């Protein structure tokens, strides 16, 4: 199967216009067929030993969202104490979640024992199953963008809050809690760049040939 130039360009457009959405969600239901497509795309992520360690929990219940939002607020307040001065003020001004605004939450998990204790590809790097689940997150994110859905990854919430709220067993790892829904608009630049938290790094500085640079300026 070959990909046409038009299809290629659409893939790159999706990648470059993907955003971590927190503030632009609108009250519009995600159709079942659209949700099914983005989850199917996530399920087709690469996985070590083809173990497919992921599961997806769809969250629409307002009480569940409230509990997760409260978990975020507590973790966010604690995180603020790690910053000082202007940086702390800047951190507190950022909107870093859309838990209750987004119509859907999707929790991505990883079952590290799904295919047994010995997994092809995990014998040297046992964390490869976690990386595989993160690939599923990226697939979901890009598929959502292709459907004009925004996605926001909420990382400032403790796993135990999500685990208790969504009744996730102790042997299952929480990988991501994603806010998903239609948005007013997609910003042309990431929020953290737009609001001056950090600039985008020059891609050329991240690319090295044959070995790590001698000047250690990566």
Q: How far apart are CA 191 and CA 218, in angstroms?
A: 24
Are the CB atoms for 201 and 218 separated by under 8 Å? no
The pLDDT tens digits along the chain (218 residues) read 999 999 999 999 999 999 999 999 999 999 999 999 999 999 999 999 999 999 999 999 999 999 999 999 999 999 999 999 999 999 999 999 999 999 999 999 999 999 999 999 999 999 999 999 999 999 999 999 999 999 999 999 999 999 999 999 999 999 999 999 999 999 999 999 999 999 999 999 999 999 999 877 76
Q: How far apart are CA 42 and CA 209, in angstroms?
A: 32
| Residue 15 tokens, joined | 């990648």
pLDDT at residue 218 in the model:
64
For 19-185, CATH number? 3.40.109.10
Beta bridge partners of 54: 110
Instruction: Return the domain boundaries, the chain.
Output: 19-185
Residues 6+ apart with CB under 8 A from 81: none
- Whether the CA torsion 30, 33, 34, 36 is positive or negative: it is positive
pLDDT at residue 32 in the model:
98
Q: How far apart are CA 130 and CA 143, in angstroms?
A: 20
- Measuring CA to CA, which residue among 159, 183, 192 is closest to residue 72? 159
pLDDT at residue 56 in the model:
99
pLDDT at residue 214 in the model:
86
- Measuring CA to CA, which residue among 189, 188, 191, 161 is closest to residue 177? 161
Residues 6+ apart with CB under 8 A from 141: 18, 151, 153, 178
């Amino acid at each position: 199967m070959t990909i046409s130039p038009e299809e290629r360009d659409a893939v790159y457009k999706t990648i470059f216009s993907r955003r971590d959405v927190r503030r632009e969600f609108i009250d519009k239901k995600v159709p079942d067929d659209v949700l099914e497509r983005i989850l199917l795309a996530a399920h087709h992520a690469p996985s070590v030993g083809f173990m497919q360690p992921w599961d997806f929990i769809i969250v629409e219940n307002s009480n569940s969202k409230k509990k997760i939002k409260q978990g975020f607020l507590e973790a966010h307040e604690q995180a603020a104490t790690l910053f000082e001065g202007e940086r702390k003020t800047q951190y507190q001004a950022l909107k870093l979640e859309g838990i209750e605004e987004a119509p859907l939450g999707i929790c991505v998990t990883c079952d590290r024992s799904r295919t047994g204790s010995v997994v092809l590809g995990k014998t040297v790097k046992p964390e490869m199953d976690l990386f595989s689940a993160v690939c599923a997150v990226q697939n979901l994110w890009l598929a959502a963008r292709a459907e004009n859905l925004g996605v926001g990854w909420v990382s400032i919430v403790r796993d135990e809050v999500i685990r208790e709220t969504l009744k996730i067993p102790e042997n299952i790892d929480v990988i991501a809690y994603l806010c998903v829904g239609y948005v007013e608009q997609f910003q042309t630049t990431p929020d953290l760049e737009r609001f001056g938290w950090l600039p985008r790094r020059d891609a050329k500085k991240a690319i090295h040939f044959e070995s790590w640079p001698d000047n250690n300026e990566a």
